[in-house]
Amino acid sequence: MGQPRVIRASDPTVSELIDEGCRRLRNMEKPNYTAVIAQLLDEKKVLVPYHTLRNRFLGKTKSYKHAHTNQQLLTPEAERVLVDWITFYSDTANPLNKRSIRKKAAQLAGKPPGKSWIRSFLGRWPEIKLGRPSGLDPKRASAFNRPVVERHTDLLDGIIKKHDIPRENIYNMDEKGCQRGGGRKSSSRKYFVPRNRCPKYRQRSANLELVTIIECVCADGTALLPGFVFSGKEFCPEWFDVDPDIW
């Protein structure tokens, strides 16, 4: 068994861990700090200092986040508004970048944030992170809204009930195109290279042949094996022959 991790005051998970310890102490007839520390160590593999837990339970100290609110650029309430903005813009496929979030913070605070403000802000709000969102066509973004989705589900549910379609006969099919050589888009994967060696290269295939992958999943949880469609040069006429009853 490895050594237990000792918490730091600036660790974003510290407040939740100590709050959990305080909740357990409140549920005891007589607070037993040693027993709670042992429980947290066994479950979380984190060693909570005895006096840290005791002082927080007795109200002698505050969490790191609340103790330094007077040193922050924004109040916790203003940061909560900023987090709501970030969530809203992300849900509408218009996420904020570093530059735009700094402008928002400057509007709320009345002065520009420091160089390390974004890193500190992310540390205080672990539900927010920097990422690389996938591209979304504007037409799809405008069509993906609550009224459209609700109307689609109502129509689908009505057809299923009208024709009494069993669950095992309901399938969803989708396709994904990819290039065999990886395409021109650069990958976000990082590699180990010598620091003092320049330039740095990585071999990659120049094959731009497009391959289509088709998946089909049933509503009962089963799935068909994926299909791969490669580009061809010749076509057999019988491939396009169908039953005359099919229209």
Express each pLDDT in 85-134 by its tens digit. Answer: 888 888 888 888 888 888 888 888 888 888 888 888 888 888 888 888 87
Q: How many CB atoms lie within 10 A of CB 218?
A: 14
Q: What is the pLDDT of residue 157?
A: 92
Same structural domain, 55 and 18: yes
What is the three-state SS of the chain?
CCCCEECCCCCCCHHHHHHHHHHHHHCCCCCCHHHHHHHHHHHHCEECCHHHHHHHHCCCCCCHHHHCHHHCCCCHHHHHHHHHHHHHHHHCCCCCCHHHHHHHHHHHHCCCCCCCHHHHHHHHCCCCCCCCCCCCCHHHHHHCCHHHHHHHHHHHHHHHHHHCCCHHHCEEEEEEEEECCCCCCCCCCCCCCCCCCCCCCCCCCCCCCEEEEEEEEECCCCECCCEEECCCCCCCHHHHCCCCCCC
Same domain? For 225 and 179 the reply is yes
- The range of the structural domain enclosing residue 220 comes to 168-183+203-231
30 vs 196, more confident: 30
More confident site: 245 or 83: 83
- Per the structure, the count of domains in the chain is 3
Q: What is the pTM of this model?
A: 0.49
Is residue 19 in a domain? yes
Report the chain's mean pLDDT, rounded to a whole number: 80
40, 92: one domain? no
pLDDT range class, residue 165, cuts 50, 70, 90: very high
